[in-house]
A and B are shown apart, each in its own frame.
Chain A
Amino acid sequence: GQQLNQSPQSMFIQEGEDVSMNCTSSSIFNTWLWYKQEPGEGPVLLIALYKAGELTSNGRLTAQFGITRKDSFLNISASIPSDVGIYFCAGQLSGSQGNLIFGKGTKLSVKP
């Protein structure tokens, strides 16, 4: 089946540093989504991308839909302690009835 390769698996950074994570696949997606999950809670949607090449920002977060439609990245600038959590990418295939394929997540730890 289709898979999303999300990297890195985990990151330990200092407060104030920038963060970058990405997802790649051999399949073509028509939507890319980025979620953040904090311990004991459901994932919360951060950014949704619907067009190849699209670059979207949400505060200190920026995400891009790769031009080949097979990849996406998420950047966090000037990280703060509340950025801690697991970040998931998810892709939606054409004709999939809305079903998503998820990456395995990037666990972010921020040291004050």
Chain B
Amino acid sequence: SQTIHQWPATLVQPVGSPLSLECTVEGTSNPNLYWYRQAAGRGLQLLFYSVGIGQISSEVPQNLSASRPQDRQFILSSKKLLLSDSGFYLCAWSAPFGTQYFGPGTRLLVL
């Protein structure tokens, strides 16, 4: 069966510091991968999605970036965090055109 992992589970970072969140999927190959942000426990905002290694589509322009160095690895990064980057970050995977399944999330607090 497929599983999706995210780490860290919780992160507290100062403003202006860099960020790297990791997501990995097991039990499937060539998945579509997604990064979402959720503020205040409501509403999911799609940030990035990827249909293959090195292929990244951005939905919302901001100071975040994503990379997919391996088939089942998706990384969310920032060079300099802003206060407004605080939130709950969710990674999801799907088969092409399939149903999305979410990871456990990373709670980010920028101070």
> Is B86 among interface residues, defined by CB-CB distance under 8 A?
no
Interface residues on A, range: 20 to 34
Q: Is the CB of B41 within 8 A of A97?
A: no
Closest CB of chain B to A51's CB: distance in Å? Answer: 14
Q: Is the interface of B mostly helix, strand, loop or mixed?
A: strand
Q: Is the CB of B49 within 8 A of A99?
A: yes
Expressed in whole angstroms, the Cα–Cα distance for A105 and B38 within the complex equals 11
Q: Is the interface of A mostly helix, strand, loop or mixed?
A: strand
* B residues near A92, Cβ cutoff 8 Å: 97
Within 8 A of A (CB), among B15-60: 32, 34, 41-44, 46, 49, 51
Q: How many residues of B contact A (CB 8 A)?
A: 23
Q: Is the CB of A43 within 8 A of B102?
A: yes
Within 8 A of A (CB), among B59-85: none
Expressed in whole angstroms, the Cα–Cα distance for A98 and B49 within the complex equals 10
Q: Is the CB of A102 within 8 A of B43?
A: yes
Contact of B44 among A88, A98, A107 (CB under 8 A): A88
- 17 A-B pairs besides A41-B105, A97-B97, A98-B96 with CB distance below 8 A are A41-B104, A42-B90, A42-B92, A42-B102, A42-B103, A42-B104, A42-B105, A86-B41, A97-B51, A97-B96, A98-B94, A98-B98, A99-B34, A100-B46, A104-B42, A105-B43, A107-B42
B-to-A contact residues, CB < 8 Å: 32, 34, 41-44, 46, 49, 51, 90, 92, 94, 96-105, 107
